[in-house]
Structure 1
Amino acid sequence: MRFIVLGSGSGGNAAVVEAGGIRLLVDAGLSAKQLVTRMMASGINPATLNAVLLTHEHGDHIKGLRVMMKQLAVPIYATPATSMVVRDGGVGGSWKIFESGAGFRMNGLEIQSFAVPHDAVEPVGFTFRHEDKSFGLLSDTGHVTKLILDRLRGVNALFVEANYDDELLEADMKRPWSTKQRISSRHGHLSNAQTAALVAELIPAGLRRVVLGHLSRDCNCPVKAAAAVRAAFMEVEVCCAGQDNTCGWWE
């Protein structure tokens, strides 16, 4: 099993997960041109994708989907409400609808969805399991629920958002108070401290690699985000995914 984050941030999010001969694009929030360019640069021919999975319908997760689906003959997996919004936005293609919390299998790859609290119609995260390896993907979420902990417990690697540093968000002069409240609300985004607390809960169950994503350009930085996680957990390998380039393959 391996994965690569093609880009992550408020300007667009996308990743590729591979295992058991299956290659999945998770979200398509970059432009179609950037998605293709970054996949090709990473040794991925877009024609070899088996499916697209969507976490939710926000533009920074589906920006390139409409154009990409004109080039790809693969199914899009999404929850009922998410698929309805995205299709109403003009995205065609073949749709595979799954209920939030449902699991499904592609060859030997087991995929489990789980509900997350975010200001979208029906957002989900995913775990991917193949043989004795497992990977968790938790994108936009306002707080960590017991369900999220239960679903992620036991994963070997994790992609998780670390959107903002509390002090930098409070000091930010670009965002009005209402926007700051939305970001830090229970249906907004995770802070560095919240993400570090989640990692602490998952380490005893076998978590060893963490990729931090969706970092705010103004209210966070890779040094602060990584330091928050590394501070008490030196045994965990940590890196930060960026908006402008891939983070490289993680096995």
Structure 2
Amino acid sequence: MVMSLFITSLNSGSNGNCYYVGNEQDAILVDAGISCRETEKRMQRLGLSMHNVRAVFISHEHSDHIRGLPVLAKKYQLPVYITPRTLQYGGLALDENLVIPFRGYEPVRVGDLLVTAFPKLHDASDPHSFIISYRDVKVGVFTDIGSPCDNLISHFAQCHAAFLEANYDEAMLEQGRYPYHLKRRIRGGNGHLSNSQALEVFKVHRPSFMSHLLLSHLSKDNNCPQLVQDLFNLHANGTNIIIASRFEETAVYRITGTPQLHQSEFSMMPVQFSLF
């Protein structure tokens, strides 16, 4: 029996971030930056059930990652895995019994899933990225990263699929309308990954078995989805390149841990049926 994880971006961008990773029984959300109602609507359109979501993991306290969390957690009584500093600086009103602190490099079991956080470079109080594992299948969520540190590189190289930030095109940012201090923040090492930085990570550190790459957190003003798609397609080498939208959910993609299957027509196709 082939073990699989199913993944989708429910929304990705400065207007809200929420990523779904799960097997047939158990799922988690990484971040909850869109409203509870919108999360429900998008999952329903994909044939996914909120009742299979066992927990939410929060990467950091910026509003586009936590905006929908209080209502979502309360309605579904979802455990919220969050570091103490992220909870403090996020100003979140959460039921104490739902809050579970996590620490970097210490795996957390959620049903049959194993979730491991690791620190990243970003201008937040205690930011983390995540690897979600099910048996031999690994999916990474790597967004809001100022620069490709050793942590990112070593974890990216383990993934059968990944959400990887490609926030801005350098020329568009430089020539754009943002004030200088904001441009400096974005490209200053604790802001966001550029297209070229993300591409270098992909080209140099992509494992041969990576079947899907969802390019995430694209800037509305300083990037272009088609530009990113074309840039990465040139170097895809069998990896399915998907642009995660800031306006709608992606399809659901099935990720298997069997390297010889990763280029097959089946595994490259989005899942269009109800999983639950």
Q: Which residue of 1 aligns with 2:211?
A: 208
TM-score (norm 2): 0.86
For 1:50-93, what per-residue CA distance to the aligned partner results, in whole angstroms no more than 9, with x for missing partners?
1111111110001111121221112001122112333x332335
Structure 2 distance, partners of 1:109, 1:89, is 26
User: How far is the alpha carbon of 1:176 from its aligned partner?
Assistant: 0.3
Q: How does 1:107-122 map to 2 (within 5 A)?
A: 107-122=111-126
Superposition misfits of 4+ residues, deviation over 4 angstroms: none
- Residue deviations 1:1-59 (CA, integer Å, cap 9, x gap): 11110011110000111026211111110122211211221222323311111111110
Range 199-208 or range 140-149, more displaced: 199-208
- Once the two structures are superposed, the pairs formed by residues 114-193 of structure 1 within 5 Å of their partners are 114-173=118-177, 175-193=178-196
> How far does residue 205 in structure 1 lie from its aligned partner after superposition?
4.8
- Greater alpha carbon shift after TM alignment, 52-61 vs 70-79: 70-79
Judge which range, 139-148 or 221-230, deviates more. Answer: 221-230
CA contact (8 A) 1:111 1:129 kept: yes
Letter in 2 for 1:81: R
Out of 196, 201, 204, the position equivalent to 1:198 is: 201
User: What corresponds to 2:248 in structure 1?
Assistant: 245
- Give the distance between the partners of 1:228 and 1:101, measured in 2 at CA: 33
DSSP-derived class of the 2:41 partner: helix
Q: Deviations over 1:86-123 (max 9, x none)?
A: 3x332335111111232222233221111100001111
1:36 aligned partner, one-letter code: E
Listed as ranges, the gaps of 5+ residues in structure 2 are 255-276
Q: Which residue of 1 aligns with 2:229?
A: 226
Of residues 35, 38, 48, the one that matches 2:39 is 35
Over aligned residue pairs, what C-alpha RMSD do you find? 1.5
What pairs up with 1:54-93 in 2 under 5 angstroms? 54-86=58-90, 88-92=91-95
CA contact (8 A) 2:115 2:132 kept: yes
Counterpart of 1:39 in structure 2: which amino acid?
A: M
What CA distance in whole angstroms lies between the structure 2 residues aligned with 1:44 and 1:223? 28
Is residue 7–residue 13 contact of structure 1 (8 Å, CA) maintained in 2?
Answer: yes
Q: Hey, what does 1:235 align to over in structure 2?
A: 238
Give the unaligned 5+ runs of structure 1. Answer: none
Instruction: Tell me which amino acid in the other structure corresponds to 1:38.
Output: R
Change (3 A) 1:245 1:128: same
**Scaled by the length of structure 1, what TM-score is found?**
0.94
The answer for the alignment partner of 2:270 in structure 1 is none
Identity across the alignment (%)? 30
Q: Which of 82, 104, 111 pairs up with 2:108?
A: 104
Supply the distance in 1 between the matched residues of 2:237 and 2:157 (Cα, whole angstroms): 19
Aligned to 2:253, the other structure's residue is in SS state coil
- CA deviation string 1:166-193 (max 9, x = no partner): 11111102x1011011011100000000
Equivalent-residue separation in structure 1 for 2:125 and 2:106 (angstroms): 17
Kept after mapping to 1: 8 A contact 2:168/2:223: yes
Distance 1:143 1:112 in 2: 20
Equivalent AA in structure 1 for residue 84 of structure 2: P
What's the CA shift string for 1:184-236, capped at 9, x where partnerless?
A: 11000000000001111332453231001111111101111122222233422
Take 1:84 and 1:234, find their aligned partners in 2: how far apart are those partners?
Answer: 43
CA 1:9–1:198: 2 relative to 1, 3 Å: same
Q: 1:125-178 CA deviation, whole Å, 9 max, x = no partner?
A: 1111112211111010000101211122221111011100011111102x1011
Q: Is the 8 A contact 1:4 1:16 kept in 2?
A: yes
Partner Cα distance (1:197, 1:222) in 2 = 18
